[in-house]
Amino acid sequence: MKPGGPIGLRAGLRLVNVAAFLFSSTGALFLLLPVYLYQMGSSPAQIGLVAGLMRISSLIARPVAGRLLDRFGRRPVISVGTVVSILAILSLFLFPQFGGLFLFMRILQGFGTSLVDSGLGAVVADLSPPAARAQVFAMYTVWLTLPGGIMPAVGEAIARHVGFLPLFGAAALGMAGFFLVFRRLPETMQPRQEGSSSGWGLSGMAPPALLGVVLVGLVFGVSSVFVPVAPIAAKAGRVGLFFFAYFIGLIGVRLGGGLGLTWLSRPAVLPPAYGLMTLGLAILPFGDSAWLLFLVGLCCGAGHGSIVPVMYALLLSGVARERRGWVVSLQAAAFDTGVVFGTMGLGLVAEWTGYRGVFAVAAVAVAAGAIAAHFWGRRQRSR
């Protein structure tokens, strides 16, 4: 934020965190969209298609959002993304059934969400003092992920008592609340400096790191789309329990790293983190208890929360300042790519194997990908 602006630095960061919480709350409520589609009679492939299309549109929007943010500023792009997202959510009242218009509006929703998400990340980067940037981003991601552990249970209660349309209305109100908070922030984009670097500047560790991020996206995709409609989550309250455990694991390890457990931020944590995600997916089909569901969510969430910060550091290592935004967008695109594989790709697998079989396939894919990323990374480090 520019010195002498109408809002101080600390107040600006507090507003960003509140806005991030409201924005993420809307996304967390939409974690119940697979349950809605399942109850509407959609097949596993159709459920995966919906989730995949939202991620594909988000993936495509990432580079577009970066260019728009740098050219027109943060406020206009985030404002457009918010309006598009609200209209796409409200379209569910007009097109509640799976079909062409339903899918088109999910594409628009993914696009709008990506504009807002990328814009908020840029605002945080603008506001963060260089010496405290890691700390600021850590707290920002905590507020961004916290609704994932709370709102699915709230949404499940709303859907069970009054139906899914009021749930979607609550999601639209959440986006409206985000917009009201966000509008209190001034424009944070600084003028572009002359003579900035044009090289990509990525190290040889980038490919294995990006593969790791893809695997995390795959785990999140299969967990967020197919666990809620699996037999183990059919009983009341279990969908919310799973997401609560997932985000408790995710937020817990990030807070631990930020509060002094430095080993959580080192590459040595990657093998056990991959192992936790593989274990969670592998044991999911072998029981029907709430405790098993909670354990699976905790394992997958802890692995997710451990891997992403380490990959973030690896990707930014040695990158020119002028390319940091591009690298962050590249990591987000890798995550979205994994989610597409975990939703659309495994949705087709679920047509053949059922919901139980899809988790075993995902566990094998994560284990194989983790081994490949590990040895690929070792080879790059030895050069």
Give the length of the chain.
383
DSSP SS3 for 202: coil
Judged by average pLDDT, the poorest of 84-88, 190-194, 351-355, 374-378 is 190-194
Rounded CA gap, 78 and 137, in Å? Answer: 19
Q: What is 203-383's CATH number? A: 1.20.1250.20
Contact 215, 370 (CB under 8 A): yes
**Nearby residues of 222 by Cβ (< 8 Å), 6 or more positions away:** 281, 342, 343, 346, 358, 359, 362
**Nearby residues of 234 by Cβ (< 8 Å), 6 or more positions away:** none
How many DSSP H helices and E strands does the chain contain?
13, 0
Do 1-187 and 203-383 fold alike per CATH?
Answer: yes
- Joined tokens for residue 345: 């790709």
**By C-alpha distance, which of 235, 41, 252 is closest to 156?**
235
Highest mean pLDDT among 60-74, 113-127, 144-158, 174-188: 174-188
Q: Write the pLDDT tens digit of every residue in 75-98.
A: 999 999 999 999 999 999 998 888
Beta strand segments in 204-316, E:
none
Higher confidence at residue 147 or residue 233? 147
**By C-alpha distance, which of 366, 376, 254, 259 is closest to 310?**
254
DSSP 8-class letter at 189: P
CATH topology of domain 1-187: Growth Hormone; Chain: A; (1.20.1250)
Rounded CA gap, 87 and 82, in Å? Answer: 9
**CA-based end-to-end distance of the chain:** 41
State residue 218 phi and psi, 5-degree precision.
-60, -45
DSSP 8-class letter at 185: S
Q: What is the pTM of this model?
A: 0.72
Q: Write the pLDDT tens digit of every residue in 1-14.
A: 343 344 566 777 88
Radius of gyration for the chain, computed over Cα atoms and rounded to the nearest angstrom? 20
State the average pLDDT over residues 354-372.
88
Q: Is the pLDDT of residue 266 over 80?
A: no
Contact 29, 171 (CB under 8 A): yes
Domain ranges of the chain: 1-187, 203-383
Residue-level pLDDT at 105: 93
Q: Which amino acid type is present at position 89? A: I
pLDDT bin (cut points 50, 70, 90) of residue 382 is low
Q: Write the pLDDT tens digit of every residue in 197-231.
A: 444 445 566 788 889 999 999 999 898 888 887 87
- Joined tokens for residue 3: 């010195």
Higher confidence at residue 323 or residue 335? 335
Burial of 321 (0-12, 13-18, 19+ CB in 10 A): exposed
Contact 92, 295 (CB under 8 A): no
Rounded CA gap, 207 and 146, in Å? Answer: 29
Higher confidence at residue 258 or residue 251? 251
